[in-house]
Amino acid sequence: MNSVSTIFNQWIKNQIRLNSGLWLKEVHALYRNFPHLIWMEHCEDDFKQRYDRLYPQIQHEQMRGYRFLLENKQHAVLASEDNVYEEIEQQSELFQNSTLVKRKALLQLWNHRIAKQLIQKAGFQAKIITFQGLTAFSELTLTYLLKRCPNLYSLTIFKCSFYHLPQNFGHLRKLVQFIVQKSLLKALPNTFRRLTSLKEVVLEETQLSYFPMLLTKLPVLKKLQIGQNLITELPKSLVLEKFLQKIHLDSKELLNQQRKHTSVT
């Protein structure tokens, strides 16, 4: 027997299909916001069939993000006058009964407001920032970070469930230390190579499944900790060999450090 929420979500999908404008938005949003699901689908069926198959996965991912925000409340935000978490809890039903487009927008808005308050708590022109309990890291958030902390020295991402960093991440030109721990980060953006002031990078307990060769482009990098990820092999590259020698890191030791992995979810 179907639950009320299952029936209601089926009704939402049907209403979306009846409204051509809303359906077009859903199609565009699906391709734009969930490419990792779309391109995994090597099939010949039409988009509506594909949409029906992917809708449960997308809804599950968005609901997971919603729960993650509430399960990882940050004290700095709870203590502020604008407590975002109260709004998130109050809009539980609205979020669950919204379309893919609106749920995506709500998650991005809430994440930006939480990150903004964490930045404000650190203080104007802070040199050290820690982001924790986020499910998204947008270009808008990074733009605000750059405006508020133009001389940022150290950035830590801890227990966050987003997969990617924004493409404008390379604008953090003065960043010296970058740490990611117990998070779901899967890759570094191409602009990461522009962080030419980086001296220390820590990537531990993430979803990285390959060694990010972008790290070899960092001219002053001296310390690299990259353990307990999903990396099973290293690319055969002379550039990588020289890079590891330069920072005094053995390739076998690096692979041995990948054996254990802890998920944040």
3-state helix, strand, coil in the chain (%, to 5): 50, 10, 40
Cα separation, 250 vs 255, whole angstroms:
9
pTM summary value: 0.82
Q: What is the pLDDT of residues 75-89, one digit of tens each?
A: 888 877 788 999 999
Per the CB < 8 A criterion, the answer to whether 151 and 144 are in contact is no
Domain boundaries along the sequence of the chain? 1-122, 125-265
Reported as half-sphere exposure (CB side, CA atoms, 13 A), residue 215 has a value of: 26
pLDDT exceeds cutoff 60 at 262: no
**How high does pLDDT run on average in the chain?**
85
The residue that leads in pLDDT, 102 or 20, is 102
Across residues 141-155, what is the average pLDDT?
Answer: 96
Task: Domain 125-265: state its class.
Answer: alpha beta
pLDDT in tens, 108-127: 999 999 999 999 999 999 99
- Per the listing, tokens 């802890």 go with 262
Residues 80-99: what's their mean pLDDT?
89
Phi, then psi, of 175 in degrees rounded to 5: -65, 130
Instruction: Kindly indicate the confidence band of residue 149, based on its pLDDT and cuts at 50, 70 and 90.
Output: very high
* pLDDT for residue 46 is more than 90: no
The predicted model gives 243-264 an average pLDDT of 80
Quick one: pLDDT at residue 42? 52
Q: How confident is the model at residue 20 (pLDDT cuts 50, 70, 90)?
A: low
User: What is the CA 84 to chain-centroid distance, rounded?
Assistant: 19
166 pLDDT more than 90: yes
Q: How far is CA 176 from CA 65, 75, 179, 214, 223, in A?
A: 30, 27, 10, 16, 11
Dist CA 242 CA 185 (whole Å):
26
What does the pLDDT read at residue 85? 95
